[in-house]
Structure 1
Amino acid sequence: MNKLLSISVVFALFFGACSNENRKNEDVILNGKVQKSSGQTLFIHELTTDNLIPVDSVKLTDEGKFSFRFKLTEAGFYILKLSKENFVTLLLAPGENVELDVPGGNFSSDIVIKGSEGSELLMQLNLKLRENYSKVDSLVEVYKSIQNGKDFVESKKQLDLAYTEIFEDQRDYVKQFIDKNPKSLASIIALYQYFGNQVLLKETDDFEYFEKLSLSLSEVYPDNKHVLDLRQRVSDFKRAEAQRIQAEQRLNDGSEAPEIALPDKNGNVISLSSLRGKVVLIDFWAAWCPPCRQENPHLVKLYNKYKNEGFEIYGISLDRDKDEWLKGIK
């Protein structure tokens, strides 16, 4: 009996230790130093799919040092910031022990990260973006210097062409980044990256990247919220695209017109199919549309001319107010 009790105690201690160790492995430790920022408050927020959630904050020491430790159940994106303009995006995973050094005090241009593979990839992505933004800044300076010159129009064309080349260079880099890192969450940031106010990759033009990244990340992170969001986005686009194609096919030359059934002024439902065999003009109009109202007398004249030859007009009002519609057809 005593032996059984001893074994039970040993097992309890063993599994308890394992449980504590697992909990420790879920912790993320984030240590670092930000020069020229002593005494300032450093914030860390989680970047979810649709929100920014505060996680913690700490006051930098006189030497600019800081330390964070918090639990993490899945890999995700975090914003470490001193201010609205001075911040860095990190990709953290459970169990990581991350070291940051910011010698110049500026997260966007002067930072060294160790211990976080995902964050290091984001640094590479951000470095390329900064390089191309710097090139655009140079173009802006040239633009300012020539805007009052006699050859401004021709020079602006050259500047526009140079900007397009920079934009395409960033696009190409983002595609290559995703191709090289198909199983890193960092590629989600690349996928959604903007250049100025323009998105680099669009579902309409680059859907293959959205779909293949969704598939590859789902293998590694099947339940991660960022991957689930991407998977839903891909699914929504495919469904919308299928509906668009189906709608276009229904309106192809020679295709049967889709059914329409609407009430007339007396409440009787008139279907488009009830006019099958006749030549039908479908007229979309509204009482609030002056050009439509101006056209109505001509339609009446046309109808009276050809009504005995199998001609009909099926008018569809876009009015939301029934009274306005009724006034419009008097």
Structure 2
Amino acid sequence: MRHIVVVILVAFLAGFTSCNSSESSDSTENKENNLFISGTIKGANGQKAYLEAVSQNGVISVADGVIENEQFDLQTNIPGLGIYQLRIGEQPDNALIITAKKGDKIKISGDISNIAFGAKISGVEWGNQYGKYMELVAGFSKSQNELMALQGQLSQEELVKKYLELKKPMDEYAREQINKNPASAFNIVLSNSLMPATGFVDYPKENVETLRKMADSYEKNHADSPITQTLIQQVTQIESGYNEYEIMKTGKKPAPDILMESPEGKEIKLSSLKGKVVLIDFWASWCGPCRKENPNVVKLYNKYKNKGFTIYSVSLDTDQASWVNAIEQDGLIWPNHVSDLMGWKSFVIKLYGFSAIPHTVLVGKDGNIIDVGLRGDALEKRLAEILK
């Protein structure tokens, strides 16, 4: 479980640290030290302590030193606010995240057997936050392992719902702490909890507001850090995506038209179905979750086809035989099956802005989008509201 937690905390850092990794890799020779990290690590005598920047291109060493009498002392020069990994010894699990700015004197104490969870941090304003947040991360990781074991027993919608429930304490703590002190260096870590991990369905508006508050504060207080510019870009993208989703839900955004061929070579235009409620279902024969969802889609088609409902299935297959066989095997009896057999190179990916399938878009009788990302019980409930 320790390894999973390290991955959780480190994996998302690439987006931030790739911007400042080149600066971190610059030689610090002849530069005055402005970051000081020291401490006591029980059980680590004789091992090395490594301060590293994590980037998309790998790990870049910033400073290192041997732990003697369980004590270590690292000093280096940093260009400004940054995020780093302090690794003890050669095991990647034995690591913790450090957010640091010029002049910080950070003290760390802990035991090598539980350094990621149990480290105590002092000397910086976010020391207590680190301990509390790691408790929440540890609990979330344990519960997430248990949730993964339920795959196959629960529907995708049930899994997502439980995932969001498990994640809720982390989200609430992150929002509370960021709103209290939006300029805090540790917010780089806390903000990870507020990113839209499962799209914008059920994504809280207060997350957007908190992230914007943090970005504005960073722009004012940490303008010299590349992390700030990356954060601003990310928050702007999230705001744009959230606002786009909200517009879609109002039913005022027209569904971009699609013109593709059926397996028989007949051109079928999405707009030709105007006047009906249309479920655009992006899927593929090779997509396990798509195939698992198909019986539910068939059930809903049969239930509502006489009430002005139809389905426009867009396949991301590249092999026509596989596509046709899946249609027959899963009993997808509606007539509107199309594909350009371009897979993930299809123009519809950018046109509808999705990165995973199955993905659904619900279009009203007027041709405007009224919801996205619905499956299972959520889709059936929405159709029941519309097609009374």
TM over 0.5: yes
Q: Does the Cα contact within 8 Å between 2:34 and 2:104 map onto a contact in 1?
A: yes
Q: CA deviation at 1:123?
A: 3.2
Residue type at the aligned position of 1:293? K
Q: CA deviation at 1:29?
A: 1.6
Residue type at the aligned position of 2:259? F
- State the Cα RMSD in Å: 4.5
What residue number does 2:124 align with?
116
What residue number does 2:47 align with?
40
What residue number does 1:129 align with?
137
Q: Does 1:209 align with 2:215?
A: no
50 and 192 in structure 1: CA distance in 2 versus 1, 3 angstrom threshold: farther
Q: Does 1:285 align with 2:267?
A: no
Q: CA deviation at 1:121?
A: 2.8
Question: Which runs of 5 or more structure 2 residues have no equivalent in the other structure?
Answer: 1-30, 273-338, 343-388
> Which protein is richer in helix relative to its size?
1
Q: Does 1:169 align with 2:175?
A: no
One of 196, 199, 206 as aligned partner of 2:197: 199
Corresponding residue SS for 2:75 = strand
One of 251, 254, 272 as aligned partner of 1:251: 254
More deviation, 64-73/116-125: 116-125
Corresponding residue SS for 1:109 = helix
120 and 200 in structure 1: CA distance in 2 versus 1, 3 angstrom threshold: farther
Q: Does the Cα contact within 8 Å between 2:36 and 2:76 map onto a contact in 1?
A: yes
Q: Tell me the distance in 2 between the aligned counterparts of 1:240 and 1:167.
A: 21
One of 102, 106, 109 as aligned partner of 2:110: 102
Residue type at the aligned position of 1:118? W
What residue number does 1:187 align with?
187
Corresponding residue SS for 1:56 = strand
Q: CA deviation at 1:239?
A: 5.3
236 and 290 in structure 1: CA distance in 2 versus 1, 3 angstrom threshold: same
Q: CA deviation at 1:60?
A: 2.1
What residue number does 1:90 align with?
98
Q: Does the Cα contact within 8 Å between 2:179 and 2:213 map onto a contact in 1?
A: no
What residue number does 1:178 align with?
178
Q: Tell me the distance in 1 between the aligned counterparts of 2:215 and 2:78.
A: 22
More deviation, 129-138/158-167: 158-167
Q: CA deviation at 1:119?
A: 4.6
Q: Does the Cα contact within 8 Å between 1:89 and 1:122 map onto a contact in 2?
A: no
One of 60, 64, 73 as aligned partner of 1:57: 64
Q: CA deviation at 1:128?
A: 2.2
Q: What fraction of aligned residue pairs are identical, expressed as a percent? A: 16
Q: Does the Cα contact within 8 Å between 1:49 and 1:229 map onto a contact in 2?
A: no
Q: Does the Cα contact within 8 Å between 2:110 and 2:119 map onto a contact in 1?
A: yes
290 and 238 in structure 1: CA distance in 2 versus 1, 3 angstrom threshold: same
More deviation, 186-195/225-234: 186-195
Q: Does the Cα contact within 8 Å between 1:79 and 1:90 map onto a contact in 2?
A: yes
Q: CA deviation at 1:160?
A: 9.1
Q: Does the Cα contact within 8 Å between 2:49 and 2:65 map onto a contact in 1?
A: yes
The one-character-per-residue Cα deviations of 1:66-100 (angstroms, maximum 9, x if unpaired) are 11110123122110012211101011221222222
The aligned runs of 1:272-311 (5 Å cut-off) are 284-286=259-261, 289-293=262-266
194 and 234 in structure 1: CA distance in 2 versus 1, 3 angstrom threshold: closer
The one-character-per-residue Cα deviations of 1:138-157 (angstroms, maximum 9, x if unpaired) are 7789x7xxx9xxxx98xxx9
Q: Does the Cα contact within 8 Å between 1:91 and 1:119 map onto a contact in 2?
A: no
Residue type at the aligned position of 1:290? P
Q: CA deviation at 1:208?
A: 1.9
What residue number does 1:227 align with?
228
Corresponding residue SS for 1:209 = helix
Q: Does the Cα contact within 8 Å between 1:214 and 1:230 map onto a contact in 2?
A: yes
Q: Does the Cα contact within 8 Å between 1:214 and 1:234 map onto a contact in 2?
A: yes
Corresponding residue SS for 1:169 = helix
The one-character-per-residue Cα deviations of 1:45-79 (angstroms, maximum 9, x if unpaired) are 12468864221222222x22211110123122110
Corresponding residue SS for 1:124 = helix
Q: CA deviation at 1:227?
A: 1.4
Question: Which runs of 5 or more structure 1 residues have no equivalent in the other structure?
Answer: 1-22, 253-257, 259-281, 300-316, 321-330
290 and 163 in structure 1: CA distance in 2 versus 1, 3 angstrom threshold: closer
Q: Tell me the distance in 1 between the aligned counterparts of 2:43 and 2:112.
A: 7
68 and 165 in structure 1: CA distance in 2 versus 1, 3 angstrom threshold: same
Residue type at the aligned position of 2:123? G
Q: Does the Cα contact within 8 Å between 2:136 and 2:169 map onto a contact in 1?
A: no
What residue number does 2:81 align with?
75
Residue type at the aligned position of 2:260? W
Q: Tell me the distance in 2 between the aligned counterparts of 1:194 and 1:233.
A: 12
**Structure of greater Rg:** 1
Residue type at the aligned position of 2:138? R
The one-character-per-residue Cα deviations of 1:139-192 (angstroms, maximum 9, x if unpaired) are 789x7xxx9xxxx98xxx999987654322222222222222212131221111
Residue type at the aligned position of 1:168? K
Q: Tell me the distance in 2 between the aligned counterparts of 1:161 and 1:294.
A: 38
Q: Does the Cα contact within 8 Å between 1:90 and 1:118 map onto a contact in 2?
A: no
Q: Does 1:27 align with 2:40?
A: no
If the length of structure 1 is used for normalisation, what is the TM-score?
Answer: 0.56
Q: Does the Cα contact within 8 Å between 1:98 and 1:115 map onto a contact in 2?
A: yes
84 and 318 in structure 1: CA distance in 2 versus 1, 3 angstrom threshold: same
41 and 184 in structure 1: CA distance in 2 versus 1, 3 angstrom threshold: same
